[in-house]
Amino acid sequence: MVVAMPKLMVAGLGNITHPLTRHSLGHIIVDTLASRLGIPLKSASGGYIGTQDVMLGDSPVSLTLYKSKSFMNISGPSIATTFRKIIPNSPSSLIVIHDSLSHRPCVLAPRLGGSANGHNGVKSIIAALGGEQGFHRFRVGIGRGDGDVADYVLGRLSKHEKEYWGTDSGDGMESVIKEITKISRR
């Protein structure tokens, strides 16, 4: 009996126009995953994409990494269109990585399904998937600053946050890969 290799798509939320900010942590993590796993990202209509068969732990996985070129709050259509081309009819094969004001900095909070919890990028994806909420979310904690929320979210990452999430050897990457590996084994 031949067992099909699991297929997963990881979509990182962010704004191309605001690199290295808390709001673009999803993009930063996708870039770091691409570097660590040797998956080249290429410009395509709507975003940057790379697909490759990789080993996660002892499991082979067909992994697609994706970053939308659209602003985060309207990135749902490009993510949904790309996802449906790669993995039709399997929402639990989509992992969305995004910033979370509700979690402390440098905390990864994985979750399957549920509401957007006020995150406009996640709302856009749910709407583009026709109300489907059964995808994975990796909520990346950024905490809350003391001032204006928009200024805080669009603020530059600290040196520690950049190292934690944006380097191949950062502890954040270990937790992201560990969670993707768990999902690939389901």
- Which whole number is the average pLDDT over 16-37? 95
Domains of the chain, by residue range, sit at 7-184
- Which whole number is the average pLDDT over 57-73? 95
Give the other-Cβ count within 10 Å of 118's Cβ: 10
- Quick one: pLDDT band at residue 147, thresholds 50, 70, 90? confident
pLDDT in tens, 1-13: 656 789 999 999 9
Note the pLDDT of residue 2: 59
Q: Decide: helix, strand or coil at residue 153.
A: helix
Q: What is the DSSP letter of 36?
A: H
Specify which residues 9 forms β-bridges with: 64, 94
Percent of the chain at pLDDT > 90 equals 84
Q: Which CATH class is domain 7-184?
A: alpha beta
119 is catalytic: no
- Which whole number is the average pLDDT over 37-53? 96
Read off the tokens for 111. Answer: 């979750």
Question: What does the mean pLDDT of the chain come to?
Answer: 94
Q: Which of 18, 23, 27, 136 is catalytic?
A: 23
